[in-house]
Chains A and B, each alone.
Chain A
Amino acid sequence: QKEVEQDPGPLSVPEGAIVSLNCTYSNSAFQYFMWYRQYSRKGPELLMYTYSSGNKEDGRFTAQVDKSSKYISLFIRDSQPSDSATYLCAMSGSTDSWGKLQFGAGTQVVVTP
């Protein structure tokens, strides 16, 4: 079983809709939770990160972490065609895993005009 599970999609939504993405994980040592965005044929780029539990908002993006359920979410409000990309969750945790990130498989999102 993978440490980080993420539905690969694709997830197709109309422009203006809310996009809801999530990942589950099994390692309770994870403390740092990140979302990367990857456009087609490009490298991933960091979108947001959250430490431990709670919510974090940045413009149209909201990241949530529920450590008790080992579940993280990313919401995109007022989605735009330019949000069409693959979104990867990533996490790291205990001292000996420092920068070694565990990635989900990524969810492909398609926002249709």
Chain B
Amino acid sequence: NAGVTQTPKFRVLKTGQSMTLLCAQDMNHEYMYWYRQDPGMGLRLIHYSVGEGTTAKGEVPDGYNVSRLKKQNFLLGLESAAPSQTSVYFCASSYSGQGTDTQYFGPGTRLTVL
């Protein structure tokens, strides 16, 4: 049982390049989330999904797209990377969306955009 895994762990991009971050969970969770973490800002929700085939915008969705083609995978795409997207990206999943439900986080992807 690996929990939540993220690929890649590190990446350096040049401005304007594109990339996709992959999140996978093996806990059969319905809900999945993408956050970014910046110093002094805490974790901010980018996009989330309430089930296979669904996506929705979070607090800071601009410049990102997501897809949830399979229940266990949640992809985050950057079509044209900007320096402001330099951050640590965390994926999380939960069984339901209830307030008492635990969100399980992956180890993060450190992205630098030059």
Contacts and interface: CB of A to CB of B under 8 A. Distances in A.
Interface centre among B42, B58, B104 (most CB of A within 10 A): B42
B100 A49 contact: yes
Contacts, number: 60
Contacts of A100: 45, 48, 58
B4 interface: yes
Chain B interface size range? 20 to 34
Interface string B75-114: 0000000000000001010101111111111111000000
Given A51-B100, A99-B97, 19 more contacts: A4-B42, A6-B42, A42-B108, A43-B105, A44-B43, A44-B90, A46-B103, A49-B100, A49-B102, A88-B42, A93-B99, A99-B33, A99-B48, A100-B45, A100-B58, A103-B44, A104-B42, A105-B42, A106-B42
Interface of A: 4, 6, 8, 31-32, 41-46, 49, 51, 88, 90, 92-93, 98-101, 103-106
